[in-house]
Amino acid sequence: MSEIDARREQLSELSLKIHSNPELGLEEIKAAAWLTQYLEENGFSIERGICQLPTAFRGSYGAGKPAIAVIAEYDALPNLGHACGHNIIATCAVGAGVASKPAIDQLGGSITVIGTPSEELHACKAKMIERGAFNDLDIAMMVHPGTHDVATTPALACQTLEVEFFGQAAHAAAQPETGINALEAMLQSFAAINSLRQHTKDKARIHGIITDGGKAHNVVPAHSAGIFSVRAEDDTYLDELKQRVINCFIGAATASGARLQYKWGDNRCSPLRSNMTLAQLFSQNMQSLGRKTPLSDPQQTFGSTDMGNVSQVVPSIHPFVAIAPPGIAHHSPQFALAAASEAGTQGLLDAAKALAMTVVDLVADPAIVGKIKEEFEQTK
């Protein structure tokens, strides 16, 4: 993959530039500008602000079938910067896109780099699917940095929940009997959820933070607020769990007398459905670059991703490329350092090569695309 080797400096520079200018979800103005500029300079036609999202974009090259998409993410995390390494995902996507051009020229097909904002905070791919960004695609691929090379990864269905309790302020020592304690309602909710957690199915996850627990220690808190995530292995169990979690809050509201108000997040992550035929191709290509990349890893930990939603509508893969040693957690300062390290750049370049090699496999052999689609239909 000499196209990637020839662009080593450019890609490394682009990745580090995004890394040192972290932007939160829906605010990725610089990253989106740099990525689209790079694609444009390399002959892609660019549409900016697609799906009514100012930092979403589409860069296209070629117009034939198969229509293959490489997905870019480029949002950072509050306080932690690029602690999920999305600078690598983005640069890997544009690198793979540009490196796929000779194959598209020779063999046909089309390659599209889809820029998807705010994976972390808003799961924007869900909106982008509704608004047609993934229509008429045959294949969608992206690579996420991690601590192991692996071609598939499980990811849980997930929805966020915002909760508020409204009580009654009072002097906490002089007239506590006239107060209704909104903070206690929140604490009781946590206790109820902790009890519930003992009796949920394996892989279910419920976790949250308190964003308002009162303003003064000597005033009975009249207001409390929190944000939670509820996750499950499949959509059916997520629906069941959501109701049980809400029951925890209703119980606490009843016990405390505080009024409960809640709102489920607009965007929900679907479980990730990896296409094994496609994963096999990617794995072989990583292998040829000297990276032993198993199809799956039973030891793997997992969260949720809005790429799960894409995988429900287009045959997809979301593999991991190792940029840090095992034991380094995503969303930690150590992972942010890895995302700007030499190993990070190497992972980026190898993953971009493997993606571009997979594009070559796909445009060279319509039968394999047929097989991928057949698997997609059969496993629906």
Residues that bind Zn ion (CB under 5 A): 84
Q: Using the minimum distance from each CB to Zn ion, give the nearer residue, 84 or 252.
A: 84
Q: How many residues are present in the chain?
A: 380
- Contact by Cβ (8 Å): 80, 331: yes
Q: Using the minimum distance from each CB to Zn ion, give the nearer residue, 109 or 117.
A: 117
Bridge partner residues of 132 (DSSP): none
Q: Using the minimum distance from each CB to Zn ion, give the nearer residue, 145 or 179.
A: 145
CB of 287 to Zn ion, least distance (A): 24
CB of 24 to Zn ion, least distance (A): 12
* Edge-to-edge strand ranges of the sheet holding 157-166: 205-212, 223-232, 157-166, 259-264
| CB-closest chain residue to Zn ion | 84
CB of 86 to Zn ion, least distance (A): 6
CB of 73 to Zn ion, least distance (A): 6
CB of 187 to Zn ion, least distance (A): 28
3-state SS class at 350: helix
- Contact by Cβ (8 Å): 58, 114: yes
Q: Using the minimum distance from each CB to Zn ion, give the nearer residue, 287 or 334.
A: 334
Q: What ranges in the chain are assigned the alpha helix state H?
A: 2-6, 8-19, 29-41, 86-99, 101-107, 119-122, 125-130, 182-197, 235-256, 276-288, 307-313, 333-338, 342-364, 366-378
Q: Using the minimum distance from each CB to Zn ion, give the nearer residue, 81 or 315.
A: 81
CB of 149 to Zn ion, least distance (A): 16
What span, in angstroms and rounded, lies between the C-alpha atoms of 232 and 5?
A: 41
Q: Which two tokens stand for residue 358?
A: 């997979």
What span, in angstroms and rounded, lies between the C-alpha atoms of 341 and 333?
A: 13
Q: Which residue reads 């080593």 in tokens?
A: 8
Q: Using the minimum distance from each CB to Zn ion, give the nearer residue, 270 or 280.
A: 270
